Structure 1
Amino acid sequence: MEDILRPIYQERASQTNTLSVLIIEKRQNECTVTDTFDAILLMIVKEAETPVFIKHYIYEQKKAALHIVREDQLKEWLLLGSNRKIVEWITHGKVLFDRNEYMANLKGELRDFPFSERKLKAGLEFAKLIRRYIDGKAFFDNDQYLDAYNHVVHALHHLARLAVIENGFHPEITVWNQVKQIEPEIFKLYEELITSDESIEKRLELLFLASEFLIHSRTKVYASHLLGVMQEKERWTINELLCNPDLENYGVDLGILLEFLTEKHFINEIKVETKGPRIYHRYYEVGKKLS
């Protein structure tokens, strides 16, 4: 297969803009990893007009796809987890071309998973978890059980990914296989949610109780990135936090995480007078609970 696909990438590999080329071949019973294609050629480049460029090919009744990905897009996927397949592609892909050991070094970074990167990734995942948990609880309190169930499934998935990150690994597509080995308690919650004979209302009630304990027991760890940034100065407005370059990847989830941490007294709200009577600016500071 390599020989057949070589003409597709060989010319591009000779260009100084190309950093690395990988091939990922479809494995038996795992067609989703390659999006049902028999082979994926992943090419990482320094610069390109678009972040991602894809071409499809057919050969000997088989399908192949070429993905040309700009380096900054690759880094964003790895940080935000917005392309779940990319970790498996890099981890299991065969290197066909590697300029200055670019891919070898990247594979090493993925294995080592530096603490600072792990801390940020956990913070982003925790913010998503809190949004799902709070929205799901609101649906549950209003007897909207199917919508609540949907949010709980997503919340458990974020909790699972957090457990994997905390143990020093990147979450993969088969995250529940990872969690089953690393945090069987979380796996058990997921199993009970989808297989229990209890009514959906009872299952959700038990899941919210268990999830609440797990979330609250790990809040200080999972929120440490945001709290660490906030310790850089005495107080913040919401706009200052949203515009801080270290927090920009939290996006719309930053606000609800801030509210959750304020409610749990990890963050304090400060009232500052405005020109209008009885209305105040709301500032935020790290609470004493953190120390």
Structure 2
Amino acid sequence: MDEFMRELYQDRTGDPQTLAVIVVEKSKMEDAATDYFDGILLVIKDKTSKAWEIKHYEYKDMTIAMHIVNTTQINEWLANSSNRRAIDWLLNGKIIFDRNEYMKNFKEKMITFPEKERESRIGIEFSKLVRRFSDGKSLYYEGHYLDSFNQIVHALHHLARLAVIERGYHPEVTVWQQVRQIEPEIHKLYSELVTGTEPIDKRLELLLLANEFELATKVRLGSAHLISIMNEKHDAWNVDELKERVAMHDYSLDLSMLLEYLVKKGLVDIKLEETKGRTINHRKYIANSYQDMAASR
């Protein structure tokens, strides 16, 4: 295996655009972490290279998947938690080439998880949590219990990832193992929903109440990123301005629902602005924290 791997990556290390090479070997007979290949070669290149290439190789009875990924794509995966297997490879893979200690510094940054990045990730997970919970609650009251179940499971996943990020860690593939140690109460909610023996409608009824409580306790934490953006401006925002501003943070799709939720919770106020029609008003939004600061000046 080592010789097979070496033959595949040795030419890559001579390329000045290659920053690091990481190896992940299959740990058991059926290992989804390596996409059922015997090994993964993760080649990290600088941002000027192609975003992401995959190559599959076979030698005798061994298979290798090579992922050639640039730093922009890596950072996007990290920011959006959109490829948790890759995060697992970065955290736990064996570094076999590291130009100018790029990977060493990168891993240190991952482990320290800078506060600014953490706040943005929490905002993303919270907005998705609000969306999934709201959809699940609506489906429950319409009597669509299986569809509601699916949405609430997703909501709990976002709640779990939010809890992990809050403690300063990146959510991994085994997020529930992380949560069991960090916030066992959330792990218990998930277990009760998935493995409980009561009828599905009863399990959902209890979980909706518990989820409502968890949302309320996380609302200031989860909205901190959006509120900080809203406080950048002295006046109220219209929804399109905010959508453009948060687009890079991956929660513009859930922005309308998130704003409505924060209005209900009293963290965001509505400011009406007259249109040419006079009887119709534009609806704009201003963070309460900004109004509080302005009043105290």
Common fold by TM > 0.5: yes
Counterpart contact for 2:244–2:252, Cα < 8 Å: no
The AA in structure 2 aligned to 1:155 is: A
Aligned Cα RMSD in Å? 1.7
Alpha-carbon deviation of 1:251? 2.8
Q: 1:3-22 maps to which residues of 2 (within 5 A)?
A: 3-22=3-22
Matches within 5 A, 1:1-291: 1-28=1-28, 31-47=31-47, 50-233=50-233, 234-244=235-245, 248-287=249-288
What displacement does 1:245 show?
Answer: 5.8
How many matched pairs? Answer: 291
1:2, distance to aligned residue in structure 2 (A): 2.5
| Structure 2 unaligned blocks of 5 or more | 293-297
Give the residue type in structure 2 aligned to 1:237: N
More displaced, 71-80 or 26-35? Answer: 26-35
C-alpha distance in 2, partners of 1:4/1:143?
56
- CA distances 1:165-197 after superposition (whole Å, capped 9, x unpaired): 111111111111111111110111111111222
Shift in Å at residue 92 of structure 1? Answer: 1.0
Name the stretch that deviates more: 182-191 or 251-260.
251-260
1:3-26 per-position Cα deviation (integer Å, ceiling 9, x unaligned): 222121211211111111111111
| Residue identity matched to 1:90 | L
Q: Distance in 1 between matches of 2:276 and 2:285?
A: 20
The amino acid of 1:143's aligned partner reads G
- The one-letter code sitting in structure 2 at the alignment partner of 1:249 is D
Structure 2 residue matching 1:217: 3-state secondary structure: helix
Distance 1:29 1:290, change over 3 A: farther
Contact kept, 8 Å, 2:124 with 2:250, in 1: the verdict is yes
- AA aligned opposite 2:253: V
Q: TM-score, normalised by structure 2?
A: 0.94
TM-score w.r.t. length of structure 1:
0.96
SS at match of 2:273: strand
In the TM superposition, residue 154 of structure 1 has moved relative to its aligned partner by: 0.3
Letter in 2 for 1:256: M
Q: Look up the match of 2:295.
A: none
Q: 1:172 & 1:112 partners in 2: Cα distance? A: 15
Structure 1 stretch displaced more, 136-145 or 236-245: 236-245
| Mapped contact 1:273–1:279 kept (Cα < 8 A) | yes
- For residues 273 and 21 of structure 1, the distance between their equivalents in structure 2, rounded to whole angstroms, comes to 59
Which digits, 9 at most, give the CA deviation of each residue in 1:86-128, with x for residues without a partner? 1110111111111111111111111111111111111001111
Asked whether the equivalents of residues 57 and 65 of structure 2 are also in contact (C-alpha less than 8 Å), the reply is: yes
